Amino acid sequence: MAMKIKNWTYSRGILFLVLLSAIAFTSCEDYIDIDEYVYDKMTIDSIFTSKTKTFEYINGTAALLKNESNFVGDWDYRADFPSGMGADEAIQPWVNADHAGSCLVVDQVTPRDTKNVNPWPDYYKGIRKANIILKRIGENPELTESEMRDYRGLAHFLRAYFYYSLVRLYGPVPILPDEPFDTDATVEEVSYERSSYDDCVEYICNNLEQAAELLPRDRAVAYQYMPTKGAAMALMARIRLYSASPLYNGNTFYADWKRSDGTHFISQTEDPERWGKAAAAFKQVIDLDKYQLYTEPKIVNSRGTGTLELPETGDPNLKTQSFPYGAADIDPYRSYKAIFDGSVMPESNTELIYFCNEANINMRFAFIHKQGGNGTLSVPKDVVDQFRMADGRPFSEATDQEKSWQPVGTGTTFSENYTLTAERAHMDDNREPRYYASIGFNHCFWPGTAYTGSGSDVTNLNVTYYSNGNGVGSDFNYNRTGYTIRKWAHQEDNRDYWGKVKAKTYPIIRYAEILMGYVEAMNEMDGSYTDETTGITVSRDVSEMVFYFNQIRYRAGLPGITEAEASDYETMKELIKHERQIEFFFEDHRYYDLRRWMDAPEVMRTPVNGLDVTAKSSERESFYTTKIWNTEAAMKRVWKDKMYFFPISQSVLDKNGKLVQNPGWY
């Protein structure tokens, strides 16, 4: 691609470019209506006679996608997805249109008030743009053959991604003709009934297959945010996994939900072969031999405190074998944390498959007020308790309740720069590395050393969430459960006015998802499956399940599972669900996992619990008492089966008389 590009990154969408070209082109957000831009500035005909204009048009199309990293929300950065607060991972005290997930879980979303979540119009506008690109791109005389292939691949990827984004949120949606509508088409001509979920999946996967054929395997650093062959293949594997899952595969709950021709929107007959299709799709990504889990080498400084010492476990490989067969040569904490906290540039991270610049708004709610936040992002204790002990035991089996609240009494430093304070409770001691990479707890140390001002009380903080602790900013801005999210925070970050925050990379798809998806699909298989296109044959191969699952465990510094565990279907199923919950904590997976597994009713009806943050520092034992909290609106979670799918906005339904609303939404 000859055109000079500074970067391909996000601006409320996945594929936003900053061009260095002769035309002044700053941001696609400068013009919300891309049609207006196209027809005011140039004609469609002229777009497809110029390489620069064609590329700008593709860029503008991509900008219609929403920024997936911004899923917490704020008055100035409204989340475009309900999934951030719509799962069980965290709560916020606000229940309003700026925090759609909080509204959803307490049943305040309606078709007439979707709390600012209505991507439907923009996504279908994007689909029309992609259709135009695919129809007209061949007319451009300035494109080389390789550029033509790339642009076609981008258009197929975009079309697939718009549909995928709709289907993931709403369930089955209308599949429009590939021939773009004329601008003067009537409402009747552009009104289509919703297709079945299976038809949507096949259409999306067909486009991704074409994208994978056309897109390059690798891109230069300047183009690294643009989708590649691997991104198309990985997204297809994710969709195949969703399609095989209970919500979409023989779910008789939707027996009465049908199209006008009598076709069920959701298949009523379970198809076990779908798991084979998913497994083969994941294996295809693995066989690219391009991606691997990111690891940092084990480092021991002169004081012997550089890397957390691995515990003794029943797995001898953990401490004796090098990764991926053990963890003897890696630092598990830094290996996991660096993916999210800005420690490593994306071009150096072999785990990233499809990614963007992180919006950096989410952590505003995790940092305490002294470091520029408000400390309100609160993780329920039952979620925190899912993180294991360092030796791999479940937290519930390892804690001495008699002293769990008491301070350890001695501090320690591991992994170069992570300090455990002496005041930490025993319940926060000796936990797995992902716990310290992901969770902020009472007496957690927040260095915040990027602060450049003159104040002395905003760095190297031992943060406390007692009612009189330094984590309390006001009568409203305080943590509700005693735990918050540190996953996206670098040790140096300080959000204070005089502070600095490292740029972060948000992994939309990373290799860990490929490994976990492959293992999940294999576990559900009965017999073998051969993909006719790729020739890949897959089956419930226990040794493969152990090998790929244990890569996730070893990178986390935990003992691996055994073939005996993997041989038992139910045991393995629970291990997979648990590992996904921890490995992908606060990465926008949980909301959709709970739904596709149909586990959401049980999980979302679980009361919000946490520590007793009303207790003062002088009442330490009381503080560490677990309490059920329902004192605020955001804590009063409910589950109704209509919540499997998000409601289509009434404004959309009013424009298309052939659309039907999702079940249960009136």
Quick: pLDDT tens for 428-462.
Answer: 999 999 999 999 999 999 999 999 998 888 999 99
Section 485-502 average pLDDT? 94
Lowest average pLDDT, out of 22-36, 129-143, 278-292, 608-622, goes to: 22-36
**pLDDT for position 311:** 85
pLDDT level of residue 77 (50, 70, 90 thresholds)? confident
d(CA 354, CA 585): 18
Q: What is the three-class DSSP state of 281?
A: helix
Nearest by Cα to 82 from 90, 73, 74:
73
Nearest by Cα to 82 from 115, 108, 121, 57:
115
Residue-wise pLDDT tens digits, 300-354: 654 444 556 788 888 999 999 999 999 999 999 999 999 999 999 999 999 999 9
Burial category of 305 from C-beta neighbours within 10 Å (exposed 0-12, middle 13-18, buried 19 and up): middle
Section 92-121 average pLDDT? 95
d(CA 489, CA 433): 15
Q: How far is CA 88 from CA 91, 204, 239, 381, 581, in A?
A: 8, 29, 23, 11, 10
More confident residue, 309 or 612: 612
Section 456-478 average pLDDT? 94
d(CA 447, CA 468): 20
**pLDDT for position 35:** 52
226 close to 13: Cβ distance less than 8 angstroms: no
d(CA 36, CA 494): 41
- Position 205, amino acid: C
**CB proximity list for 10: less than 8 A, separation 6 or greater:** 16, 67, 69, 225, 356, 357, 359
Does the pLDDT of residue 10 top 70, yes or no? Answer: no
Does the pLDDT of residue 78 top 80, yes or no? Answer: no
**pLDDT for position 195:** 98
d(CA 177, CA 654): 21
Does the pLDDT of residue 3 top 50, yes or no? Answer: no
d(CA 633, CA 610): 16
- Position 558, amino acid: L
More confident residue, 6 or 331: 331
**pLDDT for position 325:** 98
Does the pLDDT of residue 256 top 50, yes or no? Answer: yes
**CB proximity list for 551: less than 8 A, separation 6 or greater:** 293, 323, 324, 515
Reading the block at residue 378, the tokens are 């609160």
Does the pLDDT of residue 103 top 90, yes or no? Answer: yes
Helices (H), 496-619: 511-524, 542-555, 563-567, 569-583, 590-596, 600-604
In the block, which residue shows the tokens 């003067």?
184
Q: What is the three-class DSSP state of 200?
A: helix
More confident residue, 150 or 75: 150
290 close to 212: Cβ distance less than 8 angstroms: no
d(CA 555, CA 232): 26
**pLDDT for position 301:** 57
pLDDT level of residue 8 (50, 70, 90 thresholds)? very low
Section 25-36 average pLDDT? 37
Q: What is the three-class DSSP state of 275?
A: helix
Reading the block at residue 431, the tokens are 């936990």
For residue 266, the tally of other CB atoms under 10 A from its CB is 22
Section 538-566 average pLDDT? 98
User: What is the greatest pairwise CA distance in the chain?
Assistant: 77
d(CA 522, CA 548): 11
pTM: 0.93
Q: How far is CA 590 from CA 75, 88, 479, 483, 643, in A?
A: 24, 8, 22, 18, 14
Lowest average pLDDT, out of 237-241, 470-474, 521-525, goes to: 470-474
**CB proximity list for 33: less than 8 A, separation 6 or greater:** none
Section 241-247 average pLDDT? 98
609 close to 626: Cβ distance less than 8 angstroms: yes
Does the pLDDT of residue 520 top 50, yes or no? Answer: yes
83 phi and psi, to 5 degrees?
-75, -25
Q: How far is CA 435 from CA 257, 267, 417, 488, in A?
A: 42, 39, 15, 13
More confident residue, 301 or 10: 301
Section 75-99 average pLDDT? 88
More confident residue, 305 or 23: 305
For residue 136, the tally of other CB atoms under 10 A from its CB is 17
Burial category of 390 from C-beta neighbours within 10 Å (exposed 0-12, middle 13-18, buried 19 and up): buried
147 phi and psi, to 5 degrees?
-65, -40
Burial category of 250 from C-beta neighbours within 10 Å (exposed 0-12, middle 13-18, buried 19 and up): middle
* DSSP conformation letters of 350-410: TTEEEEEE--S-GGGGTS-GGGTS----B--HHHHTTSPBTTS--GGGT--TTTTTSB---
Beta bridge pairs of residue 446? 461
> What size, in residues, is the chain?
666
**pLDDT for position 5:** 37
More confident residue, 565 or 299: 565
For residue 1, the tally of other CB atoms under 10 A from its CB is 18
Buried b (16+ CB within 10 A) or exposed e, 332-356: bbbbbbbbbbbbbebeebebbbbbb
173 close to 653: Cβ distance less than 8 angstroms: no
CA 236 remoteness from chain centre: 16
Strand order across the 461-463 sheet: 412-414, 418-420, 444-446, 461-463
**pLDDT for position 42:** 54
Q: What is the three-class DSSP state of 228?
A: coil
In the block, which residue shows the tokens 């400084």?
301
Mean pLDDT of the chain: 91
Does the pLDDT of residue 493 top 50, yes or no? Answer: yes
Reading the block at residue 279, the tokens are 């497994």
Lowest average pLDDT, out of 2-6, 130-134, 137-141, 468-472, goes to: 2-6
More confident residue, 263 or 71: 263
Section 578-583 average pLDDT? 98
**CB proximity list for 411: less than 8 A, separation 6 or greater:** 419, 420, 421, 422
Integer-rounded Cα radius of gyration of the chain: 25
pLDDT level of residue 80 (50, 70, 90 thresholds)? confident
Q: Which helix (H) or strand (E) element contains residue 209?
A: helix 197-214
Q: Which helix (H) or strand (E) element contains residue 156?
A: helix 145-170
CA 56 remoteness from chain centre: 28
At how many degrees (to 10) do helices 51-62 and 120-136 cross? Answer: 160
Does the pLDDT of residue 381 top 50, yes or no? Answer: yes
Domains identified in the chain and CATH numbers: 5-274+646-652 (1.25.40.390), 275-360+503-604 (no CATH), 361-489 (no CATH)
Q: Which helix (H) or strand (E) element contains residue 437?
A: helix 433-438
pLDDT level of residue 400 (50, 70, 90 thresholds)? confident
Does the pLDDT of residue 106 top 80, yes or no? Answer: yes
